[in-house]
Amino acid sequence: MSKKTIVVLANSLKHNQHCVAGKCVVTKKWLRPVADATGRELNHVQVKYVNPYGKFNVKPKQKIIIGLGCHAPLPNQPENYIVDNSVWQQHYSIDDSELMYYLDTPDNLWGENDRVPYSMITNRTTIINQSLYLIKVYNVKLYKNQGNKRRASFNYNNINYDLAVTDPNFDKVFNENHGRDSILCVSLGENFKGDCYKLIATIF
């Protein structure tokens, strides 16, 4: 068991529960706290933190002290750690200008489309060294498709992407977004019918 202070960079929707991820303030490495070795999402109680004013749901840009048990990597999500039963504690926050210190600069987002076949990950045709990126992108356009699914299109490193959005603040950001540049937390999701979809977990 260990305590880590992370900057929370995502608290997104997963099966009506929570997928939380952040970077260690010391190493700048990603950590994804999960409920068990299968990578199960966290429930509403597990994502609460305390500060002198009470108990609240964790939010992006907060510095949170969390208790972690064992490392539980998956082929598609190597950053997973099982949480212990300790209560999370807030230890200040960062502002938007500080996000730049946590940016990643991959050549691409696990290829050029919106998903990675799980078989390519398990047979190691595609090696997933990290399943989370915080990236600066350009000309982000938010929209809902014909199935009313939340999506975003953007350009990163001269590659055009169109990905699903799991940020619970999508509607608020949608009303303010008009093709602006943004910082995105992008995550590689769980195996779903043979594919791991690329998801936008947070729009800053």
What Å distances lie between residue 85 and 6, 48, 67, 74, 149, CA to CA?
A: 17, 12, 7, 22, 34
In this predicted structure, what is the pLDDT of residue 1?
67
pLDDT class for 178, splitting at 50, 70, 90? low
In this predicted structure, what is the pLDDT of residue 2?
87
Q: How far apart are CA 19 and CA 34, in angstroms?
A: 8
Q: How far apart are CA 174 and CA 150, in angstroms?
A: 10
Residues 46-102 have pLDDT tens digits of 999 999 999 999 999 999 999 999 999 999 999 999 999 899 999 999 999 999 999
Overall average pLDDT of the 129-154 stretch:
93
Residues near 166 by beta carbon (within 8 Å), at least 6 away in sequence? 12, 13, 14, 19, 150, 187, 199, 200, 201
DSSP state of 42: B
Residues 81 and 69 sit within 8 Å (Cβ to Cβ):
yes
Residues 15 and 39 sit within 8 Å (Cβ to Cβ):
no
